[in-house]
Structure 1
Amino acid sequence: MNFLPTLKNLVLTYQSFEQYSAPHIKSMGLTMTQFDVIATLGNQPPMTCKDLGDKTLVTKGTLTGVLERLHDKGIIHRSVNQADARSQMIGLTKKGQQLFEKVFPEHLQHLEKAFGQLSKQDLNELTNALQKLRAVFINQ
C-alpha cells in the first residue's frame, strides 16, 4: 500500500485545482463543463460527439445536457455528419468562437498565476510523472 500517499496527494491536488479554477470560470458565466467543451471546440473544425467526449473530461450523459444548453444559448451548432449520418458534428458558432477568444486567454492568465510559481524543470518533472502514472492505468 505504498501508493496511498500518492493517491491522497493526487486527489487533494485535483481538488485544489478545481477550487482555484472553478470560481474564475464561474465569474465568466460558465460552468467548468461548459468551459471544457468551449475550450475543446475553440479554433477547431467541428467534431463528432464521440470525439468531443474523448477530448474532454465530460461523461456522455453530462455532455448531452451541456450541448443542449450551449445550443440553446447559440454557442454551438450541430450538423449531420456527412461521413456517418447516425452522428452529428458539433462546432462553435460565431458567437461561440467569440466567447472562446475571450474566456480562454483570460483563464490561461488566471492559471499562469499558479503555474508560474513552478520552474520549467518542475513543470517537466510533473508532466513526466503524471504521464507515467496515466500509462500505468491505461496499460491495465
Structure 2
Amino acid sequence: MDNKYGINEESELNLSTLVTFTRAEHIIHEIEYRTIREGGLTTSQFGVLEALYHLGDLKIGEIMERMLTTSGNITVVVKNLEKDELITTYKSKSDKRSTMITITKKGRNKIADIFPKHIESINSIFKTLTVEEKMILKEILEKFKTLK
C-alpha cells in the first residue's frame, strides 16, 4: 500500500536509508576532514601527500586513479603543492612524456605531522561501532561495488 507520499513501503525504506546513510557520511567526513584542515591542507592536497608519503613517487595519472579525481582538479592541487614546496615534479626516466611527482622534505614533515592525528580522528569516528559491526558494515558497503 502506498503512503501519504504515494510511494510504497520499500521505496520509503530505501529513501529513509539513503537519508540516514548520507547524514552519517556527512558527519564522518566533517570529523575526518577537521584534522586535515587544521593542518593547513585541503582533502585533495592531503590525499596527494599521503599517497606520495606511503607509496613513493607517482605519475599524475596514478594519483588521479588512487584518489578518484579528475585531471583538471589534480593539476590545480599539484601546482599548489609545488608552489608551497611540499612536492616537486620531474620527467620520468623511462617515459619522457610522463611527469613524476615526489614529496619534498617539507611535504614529508607536513604529512608526518598530520597523518597520526588523522588516524586518531578516524579511530574516534569508528569507536562508535564494535569490531563485529565494522566488519558487517564493510560487508554491506562492498555490495554497492556491483552497481558500477
TM-score under structure 1 normalisation? 0.87
Offset at 1:18? 2.0
- Select the structure of larger CA radius of gyration: 2
Instruction: Please give the alpha-carbon distance, in whole angstroms, between the structure 2 residues aligned to 1:9 and 1:81.
Output: 46
Q: Which residue in 2 is equivalent to 1:136? A: 146
Q: What is the Cα-based RMSD across aligned positions, in Å?
A: 1.7
CA 129–85 in structure 1, closer or farther in 2 if over 3 Å, else same: same
Offset at 1:71? 0.4
Q: How many residues align?
A: 137
* Equivalent of residue 84 in structure 1, options 82, 95, 98: 95
CA 14–57 in structure 1, closer or farther in 2 if over 3 Å, else same: farther
Deviation by residue 1:1-20 (Cα, 9 ceiling, x = unmatched): 46433333332222222222
Q: Which residue in 1 is equivalent to 2:119? A: 108
Asked whether the 8 Å contact 1:49–1:88 carries over to 2, the reply is yes
Instruction: Please give the alpha-carbon distance, in whole angstroms, between the structure 1 residues aligned to 2:102 and 2:33.
Output: 24
Instruction: Please give the alpha-carbon distance, in whole angstroms, between the structure 2 residues aligned to 1:62 and 1:93.
Output: 21
Q: Are residues 1:39 and 2:50 paired?
A: yes
Give the unaligned 5+ runs of structure 1. none
Give the unaligned 5+ runs of structure 2. 1-10
Q: Which residue in 1 is equivalent to 2:4? A: none
CA 28–65 in structure 1, closer or farther in 2 if over 3 Å, else same: same
Q: Are residues 1:63 and 2:74 paired?
A: yes
Deviation by residue 1:57-83 (Cα, 9 ceiling, x = unmatched): 432211110100000111111111223
Supply the AA of the counterpart residue of 2:82. H
Asked whether the 8 Å contact 1:71–1:77 carries over to 2, the reply is yes
Decide which moves more: 17-26 or 106-115.
17-26
Instruction: Please give the alpha-carbon distance, in whole angstroms, between the structure 1 residues aligned to 2:108 and 2:81.
Output: 12
Asked whether the 8 Å contact 1:43–1:97 carries over to 2, the reply is no
Decide which moves more: 80-89 or 46-55.
80-89
TM-score under structure 2 normalisation? 0.83
